[in-house]
Amino acid sequence: MTAHRFPLADTHIHLEQYTDEQISQMLAEFQEGNGAFVVAVSMNLESSKRTEKLAKQYPDLIHPAYGFHPEQPLPSIKEENALFEWMQQQAQAGQMTAVGEVGLPYYSRLEAIERGDRLDEDGYLRLLERFIVFAAKHDLPIILHAVYEDAPIACELLERHGIRRAHFHWFKGDEHTVNRMITNGYMISFTPDLAYENEIQELALRYPASLVMSETDGPWQFEHAFANRMTHPSMTADVCREWASLRGVSEDEARRQLFENAERFYGR
């Protein structure tokens, strides 16, 4: 692996979904390639507890985020309250980097429509607002899964609660919303699909250099050059390389810029 002057950050990975063996090997390899940190997001309370355990094991490398992923059935009120109580303890102990992954169920809604079903839209909105209020109260960054027509709805809620530190991971959406997010100073991040998705490449050309970061959303798998490969935080090096070539800057400059952004947003 080539040593680079500038470090890497994977600002969105579901680390707890890998096995312990995969994690220890992956993180060692990531560090060898000058990987500095990963932001490990969670799906629900159980997943948050596993993320917490990993963050204790690798305190310098893992920045933990806790929340409830929107692309799954809503939790019961009891489950929801248990998650918030637990998160409150983490936040008060200063052991929580961000709220995430939270947002709105774009893909589940499409699936529901296809089966002639409806989702409890109000339920998802109410839960997202509760996470936003929590982030505001504890002054934590928030990691959003809110794409296409869900993005302006998330923007509306963030604005209502005066949130400045929002990260729309793997973002896709319309031009008007992109401009609104830029005005608000919201961050976005690119996955390895920056290498082959036109829609994402266009976004990378528009979105200000000071507001973009690299991520993998691992273990989600990618296509083309990444097909049949386990998604690895070191693939953020490929993201930086693609961003560099799109923006006409050196790979070093891309790594410096994307890392500086991640460090500013998530560093502690």
∠ CA 51-158-71, rounded to 5°: 45
Count of chain residues binding Zn ion (CB under 5 A): 2
Which range touches Zn ion (CB under 5 A), out of 59-67, 155-163, 210-218, 255-263? 210-218
DSSP 8-state class, residue 16: G
Specify the residue, 150 or 217, whose C-beta has the smaller distance to Zn ion.
217
* Distance of closest approach, residue 117 Cβ to Zn ion, in angstroms: 24
By CB under 5 A, tell whether 193 contacts Zn ion. Answer: no
By CB under 5 A, tell whether 217 contacts Zn ion. Answer: yes
Residue type, 209: A
What's the length of the chain?
268
* Distance of closest approach, residue 143 Cβ to Zn ion, in angstroms: 8
Specify the residue, 45 or 244, whose C-beta has the smaller distance to Zn ion.
45
CA–chain centroid gap for 78, Å, is 26
- For residues 16-55, which are near Zn ion according to CB under 5 A? none
By CB under 5 A, tell whether 10 contacts Zn ion. Answer: no
- For residues 101-160, which are near Zn ion according to CB under 5 A? 101
Which range touches Zn ion (CB under 5 A), out of 85-93, 107-115, 214-222, 229-237? 214-222
- The tally of CA atoms less than 13 A away on the side-chain side of residue 205 is 11
Closest-approach residue to Zn ion (CB): 217
DSSP 8-state class, residue 94: T
Which run of H or E residues covers position 71?
Answer: none
Which range touches Zn ion (CB under 5 A), out of 2-10, 96-104, 152-160, 228-236? 96-104
Which range touches Zn ion (CB under 5 A), out of 82-90, 150-158, 189-197, 209-217? 209-217
Closest listed residue to residue 10, CA positions, set 192, 250, 185: 192
Specify the residue, 188 or 244, whose C-beta has the smaller distance to Zn ion.
188
Determine the Cα–Cα distance for residues 76 and 72; give it in Å rounded to an integer.
12
* Distance of closest approach, residue 153 Cβ to Zn ion, in angstroms: 19
Closest listed residue to residue 27, CA positions, set 62, 76, 53: 62
**CB proximity list for 13: less than 8 A, separation 6 or greater:** 38, 39, 40, 41, 215, 216, 217, 218, 233
Which range touches Zn ion (CB under 5 A), out of 99-107, 155-163, 188-196, 249-257? 99-107
> Site residues (CB under 5 A) for Zn ion?
101, 217
